[in-house]
Chains A and B, each alone.
Chain A
Amino acid sequence: MSTTGSLSTKKLRPSDFARLSAVGLRTRKLRAGLSALGIAIGVAAIVSVLGLSSSAQAGLLSEISQLGTNLLVVQNGQSITGQTAEMPKAAPAMIARIGPVTHVQEAGSISGNVYRSPLIPAIDTNALSINAASLGLLRTVGTSVGDGSYLNGATSQEPVAVLGAAAAQRLGIDRVFSGERIWLDNTWFYVAGILRPAALVPAIDSSVLVGFPAAEHYLGFDGHPSTIYVRTVTSQVQAVDTVLAATANPENPGEVDVSQPSAALVAQADAQGAFDDLFLGLGAVALLVGTVGVANIMVISVLERRSEIGLRRALGATKGHIRVQFLSESIVLAVIGGVLGVGAGALATAIYASSKSEAIVIPVLAWGGGIGAAILIGAVAGLWPALRAARMSPTQALWSV
């Protein structure tokens, strides 16, 4: 009869476990809400910082992919004597023969200055450059005409110029009207159009473009391209890159510079997160404060609920049952805060990103990490109070009230 074999503690059913975890939260809603708020603020800060920078980054990357990562720019390098080298006139045609190359356009740098009129002091150059440009240039560099029209077969023969976006601004020209002229290297050139900004090739923005034949006729241009814009099949960019220099200038491949403009933008996108560390640090501090808040609440809760602990022990709860109840309550509390925080952070990101027409991106790291951090915080904050509750002797718990 004195055998204890028939006595075994029962594990709580998951549904009972869930109900027990919520006891403290249901009975003290305001207090639970306030301590969850601490966690929510920290998580919201972290999620919104990561969300905002990811959204901005995604915006930039989508712009890059719209412009294309398959643009390569071939430029004059320096000769062995330090002079600016010169590419052969046949370079664009030779490059066009490389298999994966889809478009080749050229521009030639012309020395000289551009003014609104001959009356402008010569020193006010506005840092503008003059370039001879081929007729298909715009599509290749990824820009278009904002006002007026681009050069065509006829206007490229005549003293007609097209202004880059920045060049037009600096000259004080915001629209194109009939008979509008600029003073270009001591010759009047008519303005045919104004371009939109070229994100991939900012050098075009501060340029005044004229046709190759007109440049040779009116401006004494020698016809050698100084910059060749090459579009390739996207998957073959690296392969084309390696042969471009030798193709453009077979005699002196070392005197040619090849670059990929989208690479610089990608680097810029990567740099977008530079301030993140600071804000993440602030979020982490908020989380730490929240953790202390939850721990404080749990300690108070254990003290206040001694009679409940005693009663549960009298009803047959083991130390483990009590420990698990308080630990899970702390985790539930923190997770509620975490979920609210992720929601608030996501909302902030959505509002900000849509106000800037950027894609809304909430990285998995942000929301997954937010919830994960909340679980960890709940466990850490609740561990000691839970152990304390479990250690409490049932007689003390019941008869100290």
Chain B
Amino acid sequence: MSQIAYPTHPLGDDASPLDDDSRLVLEVDQVTRVYPSVPPITALRGVSFTVGRGELVAIVGPSGSGKSTLLHLMGSLDRPSTGSVRITGLDVGQMSDRELAALRATRIGFVFQQFFLAEHQSVLDNVADGLLYAGVPLAERRAQAFVALDLVGLAERAKARPTQLSGGQRQRVAIARALVGQPAIVLADEPTGNLDQATGQSILRLFEGLHRAGVSIVVITHDRDIAAHMSRQIDMLDGRIVSDSGSGSADS
């Protein structure tokens, strides 16, 4: 799997030369997120870290530690109350809703615990939908989807329906959908949460393979055993980072 040439710089249209900063696909700087309820709930309290290109990072913590909120912010599905989130250098807080949608369409891949596959269409078309909002014609979407399915080892099941697949295979399809647009970063939310342990392990091996091929991946999980597979772990508790095994780029 790691033999497959996966482009290491997915931002083909980005003309800026590669300097040190452009190695960073994600920069989270002093981010807080307060939900305006009564009383207000502070889900994140000044979180800072960066993710470099090709890193495999686990964000681990118990329920209520703020990791889901952090995922929303990293995925540009939400904006921070204070601080900044930059994805490939672009400040999420400064962008309009449409620009955020375009950012997600071209630079971020999501993998969810519940897979979210459309049962009425084939595996191939499910993966191809990853490019639907990027303005790619259907034939090309399918061609790229086939490549992505090959990458996760499911090319021969391209014509099957998701209901004909096992849980692990479905998650592979969802991962292929996240990869098909060659995003700068893949965000996986409890990707093994709905799978048995053996299947979960195979998904983790897939992530490791992708990591070796140069894909930047952030996995959110509450399971420390899973986090232990990752080359870098960020521990969260009560909206703060309590430890980061990374190269010192984090300071909470």
Q: Which residues of B contact A313 (CB under 8 A)?
A: 77, 101, 104
Known pairs A1-B16, A319-B97; A314 contacts B77 (CB<8 A): yes
Q: Which of A6, A310, A318, A393 contacts B101 (CB 8 A)?
A: A318
B201 CB to nearest A CB, Å: 26
Identify the stretch in B129-137, B159-167, B221-229, B237-245 within 8 Å (CB) of chain A at 4 or more residues. B129-137
B95 CB to nearest A CB, Å: 6
Interface string of B21-45 (1 = CB under 8 A from A): 1100000000000000000000000
Separation of A395 and B100 alpha carbons in the complex (Å): 14
Q: Are A10 and B119 in contact (CB under 8 A)?
A: no
Q: Which of A7, A317, A319 contacts B90 (CB 8 A)?
A: A7
Interface string of A3-25 (1 = CB under 8 A from B): 11011111111011000000100
Separation of A310 and B78 alpha carbons in the complex (Å): 12
Q: Which residues of B contact A23 (CB under 8 A)?
A: 118, 120
B61 CB to nearest A CB, Å: 16
Q: Are B114 and A315 in contact (CB under 8 A)?
A: no
Separation of A310 and B120 alpha carbons in the complex (Å): 18
Residue A80 interfacial (CB < 8 Å)? no
Name which of A313, A315, A320, A398 has the most chain B CB atoms within 10 A of its CB: A315
Q: Which residues of A contact B99 (CB under 8 A)?
A: 4, 7-9
- Closest residue of chain B to A3 (Cβ to Cβ) is B90
Q: Which of A10, A26, A398 contacts B133 (CB 8 A)?
A: A10
Q: Which residues of B contact A393 (CB under 8 A)?
A: 77-78
Q: Are B102 and A7 in contact (CB under 8 A)?
A: yes
Q: Are B133 and A315 in contact (CB under 8 A)?
A: yes
Q: Which residues of A contact B133 (CB under 8 A)?
A: 9-10, 12, 312, 315-318, 321
Known pairs A1-B89, A398-B77; A316 contacts B106 (CB<8 A): yes
Residue A197 interfacial (CB < 8 Å)? no
Q: Which residues of A contact B138 (CB under 8 A)?
A: 13, 15-16
Q: Which residues of B contact A308 (CB under 8 A)?
A: 116, 118
Known pairs A4-B99, A395-B78, A399-B68; A10 contacts B135 (CB<8 A): yes
Residue B6 interfacial (CB < 8 Å)? no
Known pairs A7-B95, A23-B118, A398-B112; A315 contacts B102 (CB<8 A): no
Q: Are B130 and A4 in contact (CB under 8 A)?
A: no
Residue A113 interfacial (CB < 8 Å)? no
Q: Which residues of A contact B129 (CB under 8 A)?
A: 315
Separation of A398 and B104 alpha carbons in the complex (Å): 15
Q: Report A20-68 residues with CB < 8 Å from chain B CB.
A: 23, 26-27
Q: Which residues of B contact A398 (CB under 8 A)?
A: 77, 112
B39 CB to nearest A CB, Å: 20
Residue A154 interfacial (CB < 8 Å)? no
B63 CB to nearest A CB, Å: 13
A399 CB to nearest B CB, Å: 7
Q: Which residues of A contact B86 (CB under 8 A)?
A: 2
Q: Which residues of B contact A310 (CB under 8 A)?
A: 116
Residue B156 interfacial (CB < 8 Å)? no
Residue A311 interfacial (CB < 8 Å)? yes
Q: Which of B102, B110, B114 contacts A307 (CB 8 A)?
A: B114
Residue B91 interfacial (CB < 8 Å)? yes
Binding site for A on B (CB under 8 A): 13-14, 16, 21-22, 68, 72, 75, 77-78, 86, 89-91, 94-95, 97-99, 101-106, 108, 110, 112, 114, 116, 118-120, 129-130, 132-135, 137-138, 177
Binding site for B on A (CB under 8 A): 1-4, 6-13, 15-16, 23, 26-27, 307-308, 310-321, 393-395, 398-399, 401
Given contacts A7-B103, A8-B102, 17 further A-B contacts (CB under 8 A): A1-B21, A2-B90, A4-B90, A7-B90, A7-B95, A7-B102, A9-B98, A9-B105, A11-B135, A27-B119, A307-B116, A310-B116, A314-B110, A316-B101, A316-B105, A317-B105, A393-B78
Ranked nearest first, the 10 interchain pairs of A and B with the lowest CB-CB distance are A316-B105, A10-B135, A316-B133, A1-B89, A7-B102, A318-B101, A311-B116, A316-B104, A394-B77, A314-B110
